[in-house]
Amino acid sequence: MHILIIGAAGMVGRKLTEALVRSGEVGGKPIARLTLADVVAAAAPKTEAAVETLALDLSAPGAAASLVGKRPDLIFHLAAIVSGEAEADFEKGYRINLDGTRDLLEAIRREGQTAPYLPRLVFTSSIAVFGAPFPDAIDDEFFSTPLTSYGTQKAIGELLLNDYSRKGFVDGVGIRLPTIVVRPGKPNLAASGFFSNILREPLSGKEAVLPVSRDVRHWFASPRAAVGFLLHAATLDSAALGWRRTVSAPGLSATVGEEIEALRRIAGDKAVKLIREEADPTIVRIVAGWPRNFDTRRALALGFVAERSMDEIIRAHVEDELGGKIGG
């Protein structure tokens, strides 16, 4: 089969590519061809499949059509301008997150007009489609009232995915990903970065700053679980979704304090002492507007699987990123 990944150079895209190359198949079908697209060319993996890496802007005229014209059987659409940037650059956010997604859906619909074509499209949505105030746990029927342009663009993407699927133009499956911890790499400026920083840095013997109080609760899954969601979305029977094609992925609701205690169990007091508490009122305010917990019985019934403890999430990081070695 031919797989297209749009947004292949990002963290999740890279890990998805690695997982695909490792297994060599999806749902029992061997991967013959892999097209990796992003605004910057992704690294080409070593594999027996034919690999093409493309640097392109999905919203540029003809870009989506050129990707879809090769008729991939399975498309992962992971490309997005992230929340902070979409809020700061209104036009860019709408251009990539809304127009890019719509261009892709339109390209698939038009390709289907030339000869029958119904690829599975896996779309990453976000818990940012929900806006405060929240119930204790956001269930599968909670209404979508985004409070950011990014959340608005993702909510529109979900509506389009439903309608194009209902009309028989695409076989879409959307997933609202939890916040990914432990995010590998260096600390970045994303408001959510500290959730990973306070684990990743101490695990390598480095200091990290905690800008909020320990009772802050949030919704997490590991990069390994996120890749698992995407692969499951690629193969599940989409008829079970009806015309509500996007599900909130399962995850772990945990407090910062629970993150720290799990770190202590796995890496000891020495690691925990590397966390410096330094309140940042801006981050405190932003985080207060984020979901804390979900009731994802729909995704669980569909077979999506996430970690059940923060210990599990940290161990996945130690295995996948640190070669099993703690302490830097």
Cα torsion at 234, 237, 239, 240 (round to 10°)? -110
Provide the residue count of the chain: 328
- Report the SS3 class of residue 315: helix
Q: Please, which residue, 156 or 221, has the CB nearer to a second copy?
A: 156
Q: What is the DSSP string of 211-256?
A: -S-TT-EEEEE-HHHHHHHHHHHHHS-GGGGTT--EEEPP-EEEEH
Q: Please, which residue, 124 or 165, has the CB nearer to a second copy?
A: 165
Provide the minimum distance between the beta carbon of 288 and a second copy in the complex, in angstroms, as a whole number: 16
Provide the minimum distance between the beta carbon of 285 and a second copy in the complex, in angstroms, as a whole number: 16
Q: Please, which residue, 166 or 308, has the CB nearer to a second copy?
A: 166
Provide the minimum distance between the beta carbon of 244 and a second copy in the complex, in angstroms, as a whole number: 6
Q: Please, which residue, 143 or 323, has the CB nearer to a second copy?
A: 143
Q: Please, which residue, 140 or 320, has the CB nearer to a second copy?
A: 140
Provide the minimum distance between the beta carbon of 146 and a second copy in the complex, in angstroms, as a whole number: 7
d(CA 160, CA 97): 12
As beta bridge partners, residue 4 has 35, 75
Tokens coding 52: 């093409």
User: Tokens 């130690």 identify what position?
Assistant: 318
d(CA 326, CA 313): 14
Provide the minimum distance between the beta carbon of 159 and a second copy in the complex, in angstroms, as a whole number: 5
14: CB partners within 8 A, 6+ apart? 8, 42, 43
Kindly give the pairing relationship between strand 29-30 and strand 25-26. Answer: antiparallel
Provide the minimum distance between the beta carbon of 133 and a second copy in the complex, in angstroms, as a whole number: 10
Establish how many alpha carbons lie within 13 A of residue 274's alpha carbon, considering only the half-sphere containing its beta carbon. Answer: 20
- Report the SS3 class of residue 301: helix
Q: Please, which residue, 161 or 275, has the CB nearer to a second copy?
A: 161
Using CB under 8 A, list all residues that contact a second copy: 90, 131, 141-147, 149, 152, 155-156, 159-160, 162-163, 166-167, 243-244
d(CA 267, CA 277): 19
| Residue 94 bears catalytic tag | no
> Which is the catalytic residue, given 94, 117, 150, 164?
150
124: CB partners within 8 A, 6+ apart? 7, 12, 76, 77, 78, 80, 174, 175, 177, 230
Q: Which residues are catalytic?
A: 150
